[in-house]
Amino acid sequence: MGTDTAAARSVAAGYRLVQAAAHLHRVVDPSGRVIGHVADHEVDGVRRVIARRFHAATGAFVDVGAFWDVDDAVTALHHSR
């Protein structure tokens, strides 16, 4: 993310990342379904990975959490299904 650091890393449980924007990746499950997004976020030089899931009832994305590691963010999306 940013410089594609997330895409270069391993991703939990067979999920894959597909770049959607400069600092945003779609998280795709093994069957090809998009389960959410992970986004790079940096504040005061500290990098965090934000996991977001689409909430159909409101038509908006909901933050699942902020993580140090992209695998942790993907795992949180997996468990939030």
Categorize the per-residue pLDDT at 3 as very low, low, confident or very high, splitting at 50, 70 and 90: very low
Categorize the per-residue pLDDT at 81 as very low, low, confident or very high, splitting at 50, 70 and 90: confident
Please compute the mean of the pLDDT values over residues 42-48 and round it to a whole number. Answer: 91
**Assessment of whether the complete model's pTM goes beyond 0.85:** no
* pLDDT tens digits, 6-36: 444 556 668 999 999 999 999 998 899 999 9
State the Cα–Cα distance between residues 45 and 43, nearest whole angstrom. 5
pLDDT at res. 2 = 46
For residue 54, what are the contacts with CB-CB under 8 A and spacing of at least 6? 36, 60, 61, 62
